[in-house]
């Protein structure tokens, strides 16, 4: 594992405008959590029903490693449900029924018990749609994840906090007020904080549910750039409503329509040469 650390860039200190330059160096913070050997995330014949509604129909996907995978499709096609199946957040919906398999390596996500689920969610982080810092200080937001998994010791946590705040280019903006409440930060800063919070528990995957949609264009760009940098160390699955965002950053694309995966493949291939009629129509703005 290696990390990206920031060095102060040359155009002054307006970090909202640009992501600091990053260089790649070996991981300086000791790993706190065991690393999964097999991190393949796949679904096999995944069917999800909520009450009588068939939300996902026979979904078979394989998420490529260290790439940005964009799930695209019109509203209500089930892309968010698919994303939330990967970390079992679908469970919180009343009356949900999951059939089929979702595997992270050898582990069956659908069959995970409470203990496995905690570990699973640590391995598959979520960057929320709207920034939502936990009701605590900036420092505690980052340290919280480590604490709940039993990592103790101030010096250890100090390192973790600094490390991940640097990774998202937030360190220089907040280093003087680490112990002030996180909700005093701006929206874009909050979203980067949420990203750092997810990274701090050393996941293999990052799920992003339209994570830039609630941000202003500049913050949105900053977060987008971060995702591109992070794919070196993480596999990223992203739901997006904006086709242009997908075209900018996706390496792999899954197009869904009415609960079915219509087409998936290499981003360039799908965007330049879609095989399915529906994909063509969607890409041309015929379905929204």
Partner 1 sequence: MKKNNRLLKDRIAEQLMAIMTISSLLLVVAMAVGLYLKSVPILQEHSLWDLLTEGEWRPMADKFGFFPFLMGTLYVSLLALGIAIPISLLMAIYLTEYAHSVVKRYVFPFLDILAGLPSVIYGVWGMLVIVPWVSDVVAPSLRHDSSGYTVLATGVVLGVTVIPLLVSLFIEIFSNVGREIREAAWSLGATRWQTTKDVILRQTAPGVIAAVVLAASRTLGETIAVIMVCGNLAIVPSSLLDACYPIPALIANNYGEMLSLPLYESALMFAAFILFFVVLGFNLFSRLVLRKMENK
From the list 47-55, 134-142, 164-172, 280-288, the region that binds partner 1 by CB under 8 A is 134-142
DSSP 118: H
The vertex-212 CA angle with 130 and 35, nearest 5°, equals: 85
Applying CB under 8 A, among 125, 188, 259, 274 the residue interacting with partner 1 is 125
CB of 243 to partner 1, least distance (A): 25
Distance of alpha carbon 272 from its chain centroid, rounded?
A: 26
By beta-carbon proximity to partner 1, the closer residue of 18 and 32 is 32
The verdict on 144 binding partner 1 (CB under 8 A) reads yes
Applying CB under 8 A, among 103, 129, 172, 213 the residue interacting with partner 1 is 129
Residue 141: enclosing H or E segment and its boundaries? helix 138-148
In sequence order, the 6+-apart residues with CB closer than 8 A to the CB of 199 are 125, 164, 167, 168, 206, 230, 234
CB of 87 to partner 1, least distance (A): 6
* DSSP codes, 164-203: HHHHTT-HHHHGGGTTSBGGGS-HHHHHHHHHHHHHTT--
Residues 76 and 160: their CA atoms lie apart, in Å, by: 38
Taking CA atoms, 191 is separated from 2, 17, 161, 270, in Å, by 23, 15, 16, 30
In sequence order, the 6+-apart residues with CB closer than 8 A to the CB of 179 are 137, 138, 139
Contacting partner 1 within 149-168 (CB under 8 A): 149
DSSP 39: -
> How many residues contact partner 1, by CB under 8 A?
31
- Select from 243, 205, 244, 245 the least CA-distant residue to 224: 245
Contacting partner 1 within 170-199 (CB under 8 A): 181, 194, 197-198
The verdict on 201 binding partner 1 (CB under 8 A) reads yes
Ramachandran class of 78: left when φ > 0, alpha when ψ lies in -120 to 50, beta otherwise: left
Applying CB under 8 A, among 32, 49, 130, 241 the residue interacting with partner 1 is 130
By beta-carbon proximity to partner 1, the closer residue of 71 and 206 is 206
By beta-carbon proximity to partner 1, the closer residue of 213 and 264 is 213
Label residue 36 exposed, middle or buried (CB < 10 Å: 0-12, 13-18, 19+).
Answer: middle
CB of 276 to partner 1, least distance (A): 32
The verdict on 218 binding partner 1 (CB under 8 A) reads no
The verdict on 36 binding partner 1 (CB under 8 A) reads no
Contacting partner 1 within 72-111 (CB under 8 A): 87, 89, 92, 94
From the list 6-14, 15-23, 125-133, 278-286, the region that binds partner 1 by CB under 8 A is 125-133
Applying CB under 8 A, among 110, 136, 243, 258 the residue interacting with partner 1 is 136
Applying CB under 8 A, among 58, 62, 119, 266 the residue interacting with partner 1 is 119
Applying CB under 8 A, among 85, 104, 122, 210 the residue interacting with partner 1 is 122
Task: HSE, CB side, 13 Å, CA atoms: give it for residue 240.
Answer: 21
Binding positions for partner 1, rule: CB under 8 A? 87, 89, 92, 94, 114, 117-122, 124-126, 128-130, 132, 134-136, 144-145, 148-149, 181, 194, 197-198, 201, 207
């Amino acid at each position: 594992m290696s990390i990206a650390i920031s060095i102060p860039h040359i155009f002054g200190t307006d970090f909202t405008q640009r992501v600091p330059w990053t260089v790649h160096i070996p991981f300086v913070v000791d790993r706190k959590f065991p690393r999964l050997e097999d991190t393949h995330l796949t679904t096999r014949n995944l069917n999800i029903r909520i009450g009588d509604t068939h939300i996902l129909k026979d979904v078979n996907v394989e998420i490529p490693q260290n790439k940005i995978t964009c799930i695209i499709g019109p509203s209500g096609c089930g892309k968010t449900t698919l994303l939330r199946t990967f970390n079992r957040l679908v469970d919180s919906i009343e009356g949900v029924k999951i059939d089929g398999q979702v595997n992270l390596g050898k582990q069956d996500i659908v069959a995970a018990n409470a203990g496995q689920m905690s570990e699973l969610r640590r391995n598959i982080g979520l960057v929320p749609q709207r920034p939502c810092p936990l009701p605590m200080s900036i420092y505690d937001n980052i340290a919280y994840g480590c604490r709940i998994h039993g990592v103790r010791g101030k010096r250890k946590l100090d390192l973790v906090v600094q490390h991940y705040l640097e990774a998202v280019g937030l360190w220089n903006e907040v280093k003087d007020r680490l112990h002030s409440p996180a909700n005093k930060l701006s929206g874009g800063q909050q979203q980067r904080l949420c990203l750092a919070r997810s990274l701090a528990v050393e996941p293999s995957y990052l799920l992003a549910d339209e994570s830039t949609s609630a941000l202003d264009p500049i913050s949105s760009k900053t977060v987008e750039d971060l995702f591109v940098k992070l794919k070196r160390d993480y596999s990223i699955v992203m739901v997006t409503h904006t086709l242009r965002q997908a075209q900018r950053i996706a390496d792999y694309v899954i197009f869904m329509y009415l609960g079915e995966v219509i087409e998936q493949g290499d981003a360039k291939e799908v965007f330049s040469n879609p095989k399915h009629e529906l994909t063509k129509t969607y890409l041309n703005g015929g379905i929204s």
